[in-house]
Amino acid sequence: MKKIFLNIIVCALLVGILSSCSNTASGDENSVTLRLAHNQSETHPVHKSLVEFAKLVEEKTDGSIKVQLYPNGQLGSEREVIELTQTGAIDVAKVSASALESFNDVYSLFSLPYLFDNKDHYYRVMDSDIAQDIYQTTDKIGFIGLSYYDSGIRNFYTKDKQIMHPDDLKGLKIRVQPSATAIEMIKLMGGAPTPMSFGEVYTAMQSGVIDGSENNETALTDNNHGEVAKQYSYSEHSIVPDILIMSNEKWQELTEEQKQAISEAAKESTAFHKIVWDEAIQKAIKDAKEKGVTFSTPDKEPFKKAVQPLHDKFSEMESTGNYYKEIRELANQNE
């Protein structure tokens, strides 16, 4: 009850604070300003891509729709902004697919380790009708998906131990996202999963609360994890996309032309993001090496074997079974 009451208060406050920009902008009564929340910094590739999205939306709607960005988690945690998007207090949000798991089981599929064989397979799926279908599965609970942004390939990194085999994870406390799938993955590999906020990882690793984490290379530099984590192992166990979601209530208020413009802008900003993301990864690797981080490439087969029970589970679940089969069928198809 306390949490529900708190959410009601937060929602009411946000509606009050932001209502002045929800319907008008720049003094134009006919223009609409969409509030877009995300948890990354203004130097992060995702923020740059969302700036591009905002620019494209304004251009494609001749200024009738503007997008106001709220970065750095200003409007709350990922779970909080999803809930606020459901109520319409926030119009658009960029969140990790893992954060959407507790809202719809189908999104847990994206946290399944080794769901995608490689980056090409991942892009084929995310640019296909499969992803578009998944985006619409939440319309009855208040939001829909618009597009995705690459969030990199997730790998293990620790303070001082190479992870070359699942056995190397035994006894290690590994930070994971608040995802039931990610928690089960670490358990199957022999480690001790420790869900916590991303912002707590640096201090937790520095103080020994956790032994390591798993994320893409930008965590080593943009978030300075490379100052305390000196071993980075390319397990390449998962590729979890970021998803751009929109309040279904706000979506239904738009004209068909406006909906088309936003959809096009989202898709084009995704293409833009692929470029800036690749540049960011290459820079992160270079900078991390200069910080003294060592990169290793283990044999992935033992890791895949360890998590096979999760594949068996997802292939049989009613909410994910068909999607799982369709995604795996795309693994060996040419682009």
Same domain, 218 and 289: yes
Same domain, 289 and 262: no
Strands 231-238 and 294-296: parallel
Same domain, 44 and 127: yes
Question: Among all chains, which residue has been given the structure tokens 């929800």?
Answer: 22
Burial class (CB in 10 A: 0-12, 13-18, 19+), 43: exposed
Residue 248 confidence class, pLDDT cut points 50, 70, 90: very high
CB 58 within 8 A of CB 69: no
CATH number of the CATH domain containing 234: 3.40.190.170
Residue 167 has a pLDDT of: 97
Give the CA count within 13 Å in the CB-facing half-sphere of 13.
8
pLDDT at 23 over 80: no
Q: Is 27 left (phi over 0), alpha (psi -120 to 50) or beta?
A: left
CB 328 within 8 A of CB 112: no
Q: Is residue 163 in some structural domain? A: yes
pLDDT at 197 over 90: no
Residue 41 confidence class, pLDDT cut points 50, 70, 90: confident
CA of residue 122 relative to chain centroid, distance? 14
Rounded CA-CA distance 75/68 in Å is 12
Rounded CA-CA distance 119/190 in Å is 26
Same domain, 180 and 223: yes
Q: Is residue 309 in some structural domain? A: yes
Cα dist. 193→31, 172, 189, 257, 275 in Å?
A: 47, 8, 10, 46, 33
Same domain, 40 and 186: no
Residue 334 has a pLDDT of: 56
Q: Is residue 113 in some structural domain? A: no
Q: Is residue 278 in some structural domain? A: yes
Instruction: Say what the pTM is.
Output: 0.87
Give the CA count within 13 Å in the CB-facing half-sphere of 36.
27
- How many domains, in total, are found in the chain? 2
What average pLDDT does range 233-261 have in this prediction?
Answer: 97
Q: Is residue 109 in some structural domain? A: no
Q: Is residue 76 in some structural domain? A: yes
Same domain, 269 and 205: no
Q: Is residue 322 in some structural domain? A: yes
The mean of the pLDDT values for the chain is 91
Same domain, 142 and 171: no
DSSP helix/strand/coil, 226: helix
The closest of 129, 116, 105 to 316, measured between CA atoms, is 105
What average pLDDT does range 268-285 have in this prediction?
Answer: 97
Same domain, 225 and 320: yes
Strands 154-158 and 231-238: antiparallel
Same domain, 164 and 15: no
Give the residue numbers spanning the domain of 200. 154-239+284-332
CB 233 within 8 A of CB 164: yes
pLDDT tens per residue, range 299-310: 999 999 999 999
The closest of 177, 182, 179, 186 to 219, measured between CA atoms, is 177
Q: Is residue 54 in some structural domain? A: yes
Same domain, 78 and 61: yes
Rounded CA-CA distance 259/242 in Å is 21
- 335 vs 238, more confident: 238
Same domain, 17 and 161: no
Same domain, 235 and 90: no
Question: Among all chains, which residue has been given the structure tokens 């892009």?
Answer: 123
